[in-house]
Amino acid sequence: MINHEIKIAFDEYDSLKDLDTADYDLCIEAANALKNSHSPYSKFRVGAALRLQSGRIIYGSNQENVAYPSGLCAERVALFYWGANHPDDPVEAMAVTAQTDEFELTRPVTSCGSCLQVLAEVEKKQKRPVKIILYAGQGPVWVIKGIENQLPFLFFEERLTTI
């Protein structure tokens, strides 16, 4: 038997003001994005903002549906929009934030497994990692470099693209 250990790493900042200007601005854009959240069922609003290499900002927010599985997370709304409209302009960073009137959020909200799998595909397509910036309310800010620090056992089967 061999015991393996996998380390992941991320940086924690006390507040948005500790970020550099570009990342701070992207977090504000994520907060702007969640204003278009359609979340009458969960009452949990999520906003995502992508900063592309060109400086263009792409927005996403969670879009729910009365037929629950038909909805989509903010991150995938933004990432699929990028893939459909700006696939040659690499994603440098994605900021994600959330708000709800139901309870206080005191720490960042992390992405679901499906969004992480989609993020992995984006990194593979553009051949570079995406900086992820997560925050909520007045809580700390987590900055994570690349999918490998979020989903170390991601599904990544090279043979599917070489057959």
Report, as residue numbers or ranges, the catalytic residues.
75
Residues in Cβ contact with 78 at an 8 Å cutoff, skipping those fewer than 6 apart: 33, 48, 49, 50, 58, 59, 60, 94
Q: Shortest approach of Zn ion to residue 132 CB, angstroms?
A: 12
The answer to whether the CB of 59 falls within 8 A of the CB of 49 is: yes
Q: For residues 28 and 112, which CB has a smaller minimum distance to Zn ion in the complex?
A: 112
Q: For residues 53 and 155, which CB has a smaller minimum distance to Zn ion in the complex?
A: 155
Could you give the string, one character per residue 56-75, with x where binding to Zn ion holds by CB under 5 A and - elsewhere? -----------------x--
132 binds Zn ion (CB under 5 A): no
Residues written for the chain:
163
**Binder to Zn ion among 28, 106, 112, 138 (CB under 5 A)?**
112
The answer to whether the CB of 48 falls within 8 A of the CB of 95 is: yes
| Footprint on this chain of Zn ion (rule: CB under 5 A) | 73, 112, 115
